[in-house]
Amino acid sequence: MGLIENPKTYKGRDLETIFFRPMFTGENAEQLGIRVLYNMPVPTTIPLWSPQTDILQSYSSGWTGGDSAQRKQKSIDMSKVKAEVSFSASDYFQQVYELITGRADVNMDDLTGTELEQAETEMFRAAIAESLRVTMWMGDVNHTKFNEFNGFLTLIYRYLVTGNVPHASFSGTTITKDNIASVFYETWAAANPALKALKAEGNLAYFVTSDLYDLYELYLDDKGGDGAYTDMVSGRRELSFHGIKIIDMGISQHMPLKATNTATHCILTDRRNLVMAVNTADYPGSEVRMWYNPDEMENRQRAVFMVGCEVLDESLMSMASFL
């Protein structure tokens, strides 16, 4: 077990390329269903360009043009966070060893330091990714849990109170498989024309809690035809409504939220409108460290970085209100 006690520290470029970037690129970013910005300058400011839609003029000599676009910007509040995990030496070795034995390309008679390091890194990276995924949705600085930064639901419901988010009210309504389609219909109907116009770009999505996702599956199961039977038996890789993907936020096990007083959520928006920014470059002390503490006989892991969430344009979303 000597190799597993070797300390490992990721900083600078290694911190970006080996540890964090694999969590927020490719299929991992696609599974989140949102827009992820990595190592943008702090403070992170996103410019929003709105092109002019009426620039055609009757032909005449001289210059009569103006600005080609309207520009505004929005800043993402970044919070300094850390993640720390400790294991007893025996438990730690068993978990890392299990990750290694599950790979077909590993020679169990020749476990090098690299194999162990990859397994250690993957175990810690998976824990951080799941914590970020949950906090980006339900984070609230006023809560006792998931309070490192404000997540999307906290931000969206604040905008809802100010009247900036179009919504369809289902207050007092019991949602069942018989009326679940009306939740999607009415959420779409309440959306601004500017949001509806983005449907052709293919980035609109309904973000829902698991109860709505399950009810919609039951609704589809009741449809007649061979396709419905096949889907009921074999399952569905993903759900959609009128060509718009339905994404399960996967947070129902942590509900309800005190800030929203409801455990059911349905939000329609462009996936690029929800932004999570992660920074490991502009904060002194950003690192990932893994080491063995002989005094406590523990393997310890620590990550220090910056993260924040923001809704870029609250008018480009619609939601079903269950309050």
Residue 73: CB atoms within 10 Å: 10
Q: How far is the C-alpha of 266 from the C-alpha of 270, rounded, in Å?
A: 13
Pairing of strands 317-321, 266-270: antiparallel
Phi, psi of 216 (to 5 degrees): -70, -35
pLDDT digits (tens, 9 = 90+) for 66-106: 666 666 678 899 999 999 988 886 776 677 767 666 665 55
The identity of residue 306, as a single letter, is M
Judged by average pLDDT, the poorest of 88-102, 127-141, 187-201, 251-265 is 88-102
Could you identify the residue written with the tokens 């936020």?
249
Q: How far, in Å, are 98, 111, 144, 178 from residue 147 at the CA level? A: 32, 40, 6, 37
Task: Please give the pLDDT value at position 70.
Answer: 60
3-class secondary structure, 184: helix
222 pLDDT tier (thresholds 50, 70, 90) = confident
Please determine, for residue 3, whether its predicted confidence score (pLDDT) is greater than 60. Answer: no
Q: Higher model confidence: residue 241 or residue 5?
A: 241
176 pLDDT tier (thresholds 50, 70, 90) = very high
Q: How far is the C-alpha of 38 from the C-alpha of 277, rounded, in Å?
A: 6
| Percent of the chain's residues with pLDDT above 90 | 41
With beta carbons less than 8 A apart as the criterion, state whether 205 and 268 touch. Answer: yes
Task: Please give the pLDDT value at position 198.
Answer: 92
> Can you list the positions of beta strands (E) in the chain?
8-10, 35-38, 44-51, 69-76, 79-88, 167-169, 204-208, 239-241, 244-248, 266-270, 274-279, 287-293, 298-311, 317-321
Tell me the average pLDDT of the chain: 83
Task: Please give the pLDDT value at position 29.
Answer: 60
Q: How far is the C-alpha of 209 from the C-alpha of 265, rounded, in Å?
A: 6
Mean pLDDT of 267-285: 89
Task: Please give the pLDDT value at position 187.
Answer: 98
Task: Please give the pLDDT value at position 167.
Answer: 95
Mean pLDDT of 120-136: 87
pLDDT digits (tens, 9 = 90+) for 22-63: 777 666 666 678 888 888 888 888 877 666 667 777 787 777
Please determine, for residue 289, whether its predicted confidence score (pLDDT) is greater than 80. Answer: yes
| Percent of the chain's residues with pLDDT above 70 | 80
**Taking the model in full, what pTM does it have?**
0.85
- Dmax (CA) for the chain in angstroms is 84
136 pLDDT tier (thresholds 50, 70, 90) = very high
Based on the number of CB atoms within 10 Å of its own CB, is 282 exposed (0-12), middle (13-18) or buried (19 or more)? middle
Task: Please give the pLDDT value at position 37.
Answer: 86
Q: Higher model confidence: residue 289 or residue 113?
A: 289
Among 26, 44, 23, residue whose Cα is nearest residue 306? 44
With beta carbons less than 8 A apart as the criterion, state whether 255 and 151 touch. Answer: no
Buried b / exposed e over 177-210, threshold 16 CB at 10 Å, is eeebeebbebbbebbeeebeebeeeebbbbbbbb
Two structure tokens written together for 229: 């039977």
Tell me which DSSP letter residue 257 carries. Answer: B
